[in-house]
Amino acid sequence: MSLNEQAIRSASANHPRPHNTTFAYGTAGFRANADTLDSTMFRVGILAALRSKKLAGQTIGIMVTASHNPEQDNGVKLVDPHGEMLHSSWEQYATLLANAVSDDSLVATVRQVIQATGVDLAVKAKVVFGHDTRPSCRSLVRAVVDGLAALDTDQVNAGLVTTPQLHYLVRCLNTEGTPEAYGEPTVDGYYRKLATAYSTLATGRHLLPALTVDCANGVGAPKLKEFLKVVGNDLLPIIAVRDSTTQAGHLNFDCGADYVKTQQRAPRNVELVPWQRYASFDGDADRIVFYYADADGVFHLLDGDKIAGLVAGFIMDLVKDAGLDDSVKVGVVQTAYANGASTKYLTEGVPVTCVPTGVKHLHHAAESYDVGVYFEANGHGTVLFSPLTLSTISAHSPSSPSASAALSNLRALVDLINQTVGDAISDMLLVETILLHRQWSPAQWDRAYSDYPNRLVKVLVADRTQFVTSDAERRLDKPEGVQAAIDDAVAKVDGGRSFVRPSGTEDCVRVYAEAATRDTADELANTVARIVHDKFGKGPQPASFF
């Protein structure tokens, strides 16, 4: 079968590439102002079709979303057959296609990708796509569809979904009817799978006070409500706030997981009742952070690091109680953003690996453990059970009634966790399950360790591509000389740690700093941000970066 060049060329003419723009495949795919993305979406449709053909017609996923970014941005995440992010070896092809300067050069680039990867054009491609609540999704999805059609692809439109629901669908579609069947390939099937597992784990437990969930005014709001109808309020009392998806400009604005984590405060106008539990999703519901206020109204964050500690400890207890601790070992994966206190706490009990930012990196590192718990500090993460561990858990015969109870809880936990990617709804259920079983308040959960004071700031620079890191992003190799200046600043601060890396989702450089006290952590963040801004900054330097 030959390539229908004419179909690509004529469809491409309807999706012209903007001049003077270079697209880069970032931490989680392409992300930019929505007005610039039409051609990229069209080309991503082509790429997904080629990827599916390359993988013998397995279904590939496309999620149109810019997640935590402001509403005017949009983006796209590509999902490989097992539900994981697009394999990194194909990111270069995504970038090449997105940047082809004309319809002719796009055709030539498609040919180049086919040749480089050995795509068999005779294989029928299958792609499932979905989108979040951004107003720009409508037209961008049309561009994706045109790209898919240009390669005569079988398409499944999943419509409005959370990112993790789309990942779930991809895995289900590819495993349906096999021994590895992951679930029913529908959003209803997703709800039923999670609700059944949660009911098994929660029934008979003494209910905790309601959890208030900030939905970031995003897709998590309708999807959480759909899920609550399936699971019922009796087992899961939830109060949803920031749940408006129709008011312009509200998505992620002064709310959501990214706001709460970076600002270290509750969403605007959400008054925290002391000691009650709160959680925030991000714009596409693949991240979650928890928090509470103490009696003095002081805000306490329970971020991805705290979730990792809670989850790893609970799974280790279940594994031990089930009598599986000789054969099933738990490991944790973090990034440089993990609070130093969390790493210290975790390494006392489990092996801990540090990898660069991006679930694509954490996910693969977690696959090397029997049970790999991976969480970014920003609340993005999940748990992976290796195929051998799943067989061990499924075949194990418990030796006592208490071992049997632990084993059935472990089996339900396997179903409760969305193992394809970080999932705010699934992670929320996981945390709620553990708190139910432990009968813990958020403050009791928080007691495991105290975070070192820290600060994360953004610096606007003229060209973030000149920032090159190494050592899992903890060192800056380029621009030359900057790392030495950071080292000098850090050496002057008690308990100081700081690093600089370019964001892969926003046009900025991020600076992270932690230190023994709030004031010194803040000062270190500002000092390092100034080091970057002095030489490479864009616009006037702010008096403070936060």
For ligand G16, give the closer residue by CB, 133 or 505. Answer: 505
Residue 71 interacts with ligand G16 (CB under 6 A): yes or no: no
The pair of three-digit structure tokens given for residue 399, joined into one six-digit string: 């030796």
Q: Rounded CA gap, 317 and 89, in Å?
A: 38
Rounded to a whole number of angstroms, the minimum distance from the CB of residue 123 to ligand G16 is 29
The pair of three-digit structure tokens given for residue 245, joined into one six-digit string: 């998806």
Give the H/E segment covering residue 18. none
The pair of three-digit structure tokens given for residue 243, joined into one six-digit string: 């749940």
For ligand G16, give the closer residue by CB, 280 or 505. Answer: 505
Tell me which residue of 437, 442, 457 sits closest to 499, measured CA to CA: 457
For ligand G16, give the closer residue by CB, 314 or 499. Answer: 499
Binding to ligand G16 (CB under 6 A) within 1-60 occurs at 27-28
Rounded to a whole number of angstroms, the minimum distance from the CB of residue 484 to ligand G16 is 24
Residue 84 interacts with ligand G16 (CB under 6 A): yes or no: no
Instruction: Convert residues 444-483 into a mask of x (bound to ligand G16 by CB under 6 A) and - (unbound).
Output: ----------------------------------------
For residue 159, the cross-strand partners are: 130
Give the binding range for ligand G16 (CB under 6 A) out of 132-140, 183-191, 229-237, 352-360.
Answer: 352-360
Residues annotated as binding site for Mg(2+)?
67, 282, 284, 286
Q: Which of 504, 507, 537, 546 binds ligand G16 (CB under 6 A)?
A: 504
Residue 498 interacts with ligand G16 (CB under 6 A): yes or no: no
Question: 396-402: which pairs have CB atoms within 8 A and are 24 or more residues apart?
Answer: 396/322, 396/323, 396/324, 398/322, 398/323, 399/323, 402/321
Q: Rounded CA gap, 516 and 130, in Å?
A: 45
For ligand G16, give the closer residue by CB, 28 or 202. Answer: 28
Residue 505 interacts with ligand G16 (CB under 6 A): yes or no: yes
For residue 513, the cross-strand partners are: 455, 498
Q: Which of 171, 474, 510, 533 binds ligand G16 (CB under 6 A)?
A: 510
Rounded to a whole number of angstroms, the minimum distance from the CB of residue 304 to ligand G16 is 9
Integer CA distances (angstroms), 330 to 7, 351, 433, in order: 50, 8, 19
Residue 376 interacts with ligand G16 (CB under 6 A): yes or no: yes
Residue 238: is it exposed, middle or buried by C-beta count within 10 angstroms (0-12/13-18/19+)?
Answer: middle
Q: Which of 80, 91, 103, 506 binds ligand G16 (CB under 6 A)?
A: 506
Rounded to a whole number of angstroms, the minimum distance from the CB of residue 514 to ligand G16 is 17
Catalytic, 67? Answer: yes
Number of amino acids touching ligand G16 (CB under 6 A): 18
User: Of 67, 280, 426, 498, which residue is the catalytic one?
Assistant: 67
Tell me which residue of 359, 533, 523, 514 sits closest to 458, measured CA to CA: 533
Residue 242 interacts with ligand G16 (CB under 6 A): yes or no: no
Residue 389: which residues within 8 A CB-CB, separation 6 or more? Answer: 328, 370, 371
Residue 103 interacts with ligand G16 (CB under 6 A): yes or no: no
Q: Rounded CA gap, 359 and 421, in Å?
A: 8
Q: Interface with ligand G16 by CB under 6 A: which residues?
A: 27-28, 67-68, 282, 286-287, 357-359, 376, 378, 380, 503-506, 510
Catalytic residues: 67
